[in-house]
Amino acid sequence: MRTYLVTGGAGFIGSNYIHYMFGKYGDRIRIINVDALTYAGNLENLKDVENRENYTFVKADICDKGAISEIFAQNEIDRVVHFAAESHVDRSIRDPEVFVRTNVLGTAVMLNCAKAAWELPDGSFQEGKKFLHVSTDEVYGSLPEDDNAFFYETTPYDPHSPYSASKASSDLLVKSYMDTYHFPANITNCSNNYGPYQFPEKLIPLIINNALQGKKLPVYGDGRNVRDWLFVEDHVRAIDMVQEKGRLFETYNIGGHNEKQNIEIIRIILEALQEMLPANDPRRAYVKEDLITYVEDRKGHDRRYAIAPDKIRAEVGWEPETMFQEGIRKTIRWFFENEDWMKNVTSGGYQKYYDEMYGGRKQIGENR
């Protein structure tokens, strides 16, 4: 039975990946999930798998070399899928150091422990071992607004935020292991994800949550920054397909050609909420564009991201399956059906963060 070591499996994409993998492979695989359970890690995301015999959770920090090498020593790990990271740009602007620690040092520890466990005396690696590093399109920087330019795997790295700089650094470390040791790895660079279990500090769940509570919907700057949104299930399927069908040592960009301005996203969410809330639901009265509030822009705000997924389509046969109109409705339905999840994650620590982040942000004018 193949054993996967998944890092950051209690977070948004990692938990979706674990659900997907058990849905697809059932008892034919074993998953060990290593997560430090930061503010973004939530074991509630994995309630339905926690009693499986082929699933193990280990609470550990990926920077803890002793803990990670112990996992490799105790288990025959075949695949590493490395999600664990600090992932939010706004937090990275306020506190860059933890991003460098987790994203750069943590990745170095993961690489080093996997290398030590998998390397043969002649410097080659045991057959079939693979490491997949999950990264972001933000490493490529920002594209011009009215351009048909896209991010390709060959686009030079040009990160701007501390988050994207730390992810770019981690990508380069993985590349250095491939180039120096012929370490068996892949890197995937994906566009913005949305879907179930996403922490409501990111645009889409934040807007859904705020709108349902009648809170203001904060739009940074002019609201015309463009992101390329992909339903999380399409991302996790792509990760599995790259490990199964991709060429080792290659980078694959993942995205579904779904570029939208932030303000468009907010309008689509409001429209979908209006359509999906029951006729007698009192929230219908305030889930409206009046909630839209323009606030001070994010520092160094990248203007446009857009992925060219040509390589993964041609080499791996991956295509996105969930179009945005359907994906956003699935996501909203999930949030309707999981109100307790949202209540739990928005109480305590998250609430404090929210007050700090938006309490001091100057409002630019409402309902523009």
Residues forming the site for ligand NAD (CB under 6 A): 7-8, 10-14, 35-38, 40-41, 61-63, 83-87, 102, 106, 134-136, 167, 190, 192-193, 199
- Report DSSP letters for 222-248, one per residue: TS--EEE-EEHHHHHHHHHHHHHHSPT
From 35, 138, 171, 259, active-site residue: 138
From 4, 17, 163, 294, active-site residue: 163
195 binds, among ligand TYD, ligand NAD, none (CB under 5 to 8 A by kind): none
Residues in contact with 57: Cβ distance below 8 Å, sequence separation at least 6, in sequence order:
9, 10, 32, 33, 35, 43, 46, 50
For the window 272-311, what string marks contact with ligand TYD as x by the rule CB under 6 A?
A: --------------------------x-------------
Q: Are 211 and 291 in contact (CB under 8 A)?
A: yes
Nearer to ligand TYD, 161 or 243 (CB): 161
Q: Are 17 and 81 in contact (CB under 8 A)?
A: yes
Minimum CB separation of residue 353 from ligand NAD in Å reads: 13
CA distances from 331 to 53, 195, 221, 240 (A): 29, 5, 26, 22
Dist CA 289 CA 360 (whole Å): 23
For the window 216-255, what string marks contact with ligand TYD as x by the rule CB under 6 A?
A: --xxx----x-x----------------------------
Name beta bridge partners: 57. Answer: 33
Active site residue 138: yes
Minimum CB separation of residue 61 from ligand NAD in Å reads: 4
Active site residue 302: no
Name beta bridge partners: 253. Answer: 189
Q: Is 53 exposed, middle or buried (0-12, 13-18, 19+ CB in 10 A)?
A: exposed
Nearer to ligand NAD, 13 or 332 (CB): 13
Query: Each residue of 17-49: b (16+ CB within 10 Å) or e?
Result: bbbbbbeebeeebbbbbbbbebbbbbeebbeeb
203 binds, among ligand TYD, ligand NAD, none (CB under 5 to 8 A by kind): ligand TYD
Minimum CB separation of residue 198 from ligand NAD in Å reads: 7
How many residues are recorded in the chain?
Answer: 368
133 sits near ligand TYD (criterion: CB under 6 A): no
Report the interface residues with ligand TYD, using CB under 6 A. Answer: 89, 192, 202-203, 206, 218-220, 225, 227, 262, 298
Positions annotated as catalytic residues are: 137-138, 163
